[in-house]
Structure 1
Amino acid sequence: MAGILVLARMEGGSVARSGFELLGAARSLAEPFGERVTAALLGKETSAYLKTLFVQGADLVAEASHPSLGTYAPEAYLSALEQICRSLDPSMILLSADSIGRELAPRLAHRLEAGIVAEVIDVAVTDGIPHLISPAYGGKAMSVFTPKGYPLVVTLKPRAFKPLRADESKHGEVVEIDLDLPPHLLQVKVVEQVKEEAAGVKLEDAKIVIGGGRGLGGPEGFQVLEQLAKLLKGAVGASRAATDAGWVPTSWQIGQTGKTVGPDLYIAVGISGATQHIAGVSGAKTIVAINTDAEAPIFKIAQLGIVGDYKKIVPRLIGKCKELLGR
């Protein structure tokens, strides 16, 4: 391997969290080989944010500041990434599997004549060989990819990897990349950006998540979970079975084929604990399971398990929380 490069981009006046997640994964892959991790920081004015990337795990920062990169423009970003890769020649290029990464990754791989692995949820190095793990068949199986050649473009599922603990003493090298981005690359012009106003806490950011599954019996069960989530200032998620049944929107789905969460507390209600769902909550610090089936797999990973009917347990839990909170 010849080093790993991650895409870090500006978002809302700061470095997007996805860049820090990528740095955490990159360090896991690079350290066994003694290779360096490079962060490519794309944006209009980036110099004030270089230190942040070193603190979060970068050995080198490729500063690619350009007026054309102030807002996301596909052709400009793609050209900038290609120029950085050709200049630094990394073995692996990591991007987040968000809407931007999914658009850029296959096109970048084509330009670099590179392989590509998408939607990776875990990485490991065994006997000097990198392993990239990605869900397959709708999350019912896991694919393990081992590179046969480089370069390789990889997209990592958001929230599947945690940022490293910040090390304020860390420093590194900055390389300024002189980009050639002619005007014709700006074929797409951003006229306006409208931020979606979501009610309550975003599922991915919530410190407390209440998840509902097939065991709720129908959409009305989620109304009870929403009461508890509102009381605890948390968010409600769901298993794939619940979203497939049409009880709640697919945007609520947690798991390999949905969102990955890492709350301080995850309460799984009526969720049996399929492999693909468990993978989506593996970052939770504490898991509490409520299920009528004492043999449900979810109990194997839960720190606290309650066997019983949620219709009796959750209302009592709501009542107790109100009492403790003085509501």
Structure 2
Amino acid sequence: MSENAKKPTKKKVELLPQFVNYRHVWVCIESERGEVHPVSWELLGEGRKLANALGVELCGVVICGPGERGKAICGEAFQYGADKCYLLQDDVLTDYRNEPYTKALTDLVNTYQPEILMLGASTLGRDLAGSVATTLGTGLVADCTELVIDTDTRNLASTRPTFGGSLLCTIMTQRHRPQMATVRPRVMAMPEAEAGRNGEIIEVAFSMIETSIITKVLEFIADDTRDKPNLPFADIIVAGGRGMKNQENFRHVWDLARVLGAEVGASRPVVQAGWAELDRQVGQSGKTVRPKLYIAAGISGAIQHRVGMDGADVIIAINIDANAPIFDFAHYGIVGNANTVLPALTEAFRSHLAQMKQTG
């Protein structure tokens, strides 16, 4: 190309007239009995970046019962980046039910017209997001792994795995507002809270007759009463894959995890084979994790697994195949049979920890 040749210019697309009044980025803050799900703070951290790119405000939406410290939750939201919070409190909102929560959120969206609305892809968030998007007649991109703004169109570019996790696709909602997205817990980094940061609370009246709601809450059973693994918030995870060969060998994963005080994770083939329960599956169809240390033993590193764990601070891969994809993104790699390496690591850590205990 000659020096005088003109470089192609990217044409800026005008915002559709019906979208002119849609402004600001919203995050629906999920809470139960006054306890906020951490995914809400993770979304506020991501929402802050999107709002800055658009030059608009970041707003939280708090929906709860009248005695559930709604204003205190708004105060926490400000510390995690929100500029403003919409607070809806009513007796019928004390426990999550799809019908009143959908009406509360859709009424709020129709009144204040945000251009982006994000929810956590938790059990509650997934149920609510689908109903809200359907009621509003807008697009929803679920289980996103990346969110960025196309500054020429103000469109939200939402990236998510597709075709069973074998590909990543980027989707834009060009002809509808708000643009909705859900993100699974631990996919986005937890932002730093800024103590003393304040914002505006807008209290919004909500009224719905209890007798008009079909579902009733008979009993509330907290998750902490169940003995189940909590992989998304574990600091250390030892995960095993098909390379462990059989269920008997998979005990090597458990042995190392016990010594390190770690959680046990598994790849999809391991869960399908019955060597580990579904709650321990890491990956696109399982849990997304962000531990300080992730040890992957006998896991090839296919994209379906990678999207669930590549946010770990340190990844150590153990695989007999030197060309396994996991070595492309692991921080440290050990080429060897996991059934030989894991027992050696277990004994080494056990000995080291015993020495540390003796020396105080």
- TM-score normalised per structure 1: 0.94
Q: Distance in 1 between matches of 2:184 and 2:30?
A: 16
Q: 1:40, 1:84 within 8 Å by CA — same for their partners in 2?
A: no
Q: 2:53, 2:151 within 8 Å by CA — same for their partners in 1?
A: no
What is the CA-CA distance between 1:313 and the residue it aligns to? 1.3
Question: 2:169: which partner in 1?
Answer: 143
Deviation sequence 1:274-295 (CA, Å, 0-9, x none) = 1221111121000111111111
- Label 1:60 to 1:139 Cα distance change in 2 as closer, same or farther (>3 A): same
Question: 1:184: which partner in 2?
Answer: 211
Question: 1:301: which partner in 2?
Answer: 329
Question: 1:102: which partner in 2?
Answer: 126
The correspondence for 2:97, drawn from 50, 65, 73, is: 73
Q: Distance in 2 between matches of 1:198 and 1:180?
A: 34
Question: 1:87: which partner in 2?
Answer: 111
Cα RMSD (Å) of the superposition?
1.8
The correspondence for 2:346, drawn from 302, 318, 322, is: 318
Question: 1:265: which partner in 2?
Answer: 293
Q: Which moved more, 1:226-235 or 1:209-218?
A: 226-235
Say whether residues 1:62 and 2:89 are aligned partners: no
Q: 1:289, 1:304 within 8 Å by CA — same for their partners in 2?
A: yes
Q: Distance in 2 between matches of 1:204 and 1:64?
A: 29
Residues 1-327 of structure 1: pairs in structure 2 closer than 5 A: 2-44=23-65, 45=68, 46-128=70-152, 129-149=155-175, 150-196=177-223, 197=225, 199=227, 202-326=230-354
Rg larger for: 2
Specify the SS of the correspondent of 2:300: coil
- Label 1:152 to 1:126 Cα distance change in 2 as closer, same or farther (>3 A): closer
Q: Which moved more, 1:68-77 or 1:247-256?
A: 247-256
What is the CA-CA distance between 1:171 and the residue it aligns to? 1.6
Deviation sequence 1:73-120 (CA, Å, 0-9, x none) = 221111111122122211121111122122122221122121221121
- Label 1:247 to 1:204 Cα distance change in 2 as closer, same or farther (>3 A): same
Residue ranges of structure 2 left out of the alignment (5+ in a row): 1-21
Specify the SS of the correspondent of 1:119: coil
Q: 1:83, 1:179 within 8 Å by CA — same for their partners in 2?
A: no
Q: Distance in 1 between matches of 2:57 and 2:90?
A: 25
Q: Which moved more, 1:193-202 or 1:45-54?
A: 193-202
- Label 1:139 to 1:12 Cα distance change in 2 as closer, same or farther (>3 A): same
What is the CA-CA distance between 1:140 and the residue it aligns to? 0.8
Q: Distance in 1 between matches of 2:251 and 2:96?
A: 38
Deviation sequence 1:261-313 (CA, Å, 0-9, x none) = 00000000001111221111121000111111111121121221111112221
Q: Which moved more, 1:244-253 or 1:208-217?
A: 244-253
Q: Distance in 1 between matches of 2:49 and 2:134?
A: 26
Q: Distance in 2 between matches of 1:127 and 1:98?
A: 29
Q: Aligned pair count?
A: 327
Q: Distance in 2 between matches of 1:108 and 1:51?
A: 25
Residue ranges of structure 1 left out of the alignment (5+ in a row): none
- TM-score normalised per structure 2: 0.86
Deviation sequence 1:213-253 (CA, Å, 0-9, x none) = 11111222322211211221211111122223333223222
Identity %: 34
Q: Distance in 2 between matches of 1:100 and 1:65?
A: 18
Specify the SS of the correspondent of 1:221: coil
- Label 1:40 to 1:303 Cα distance change in 2 as closer, same or farther (>3 A): same
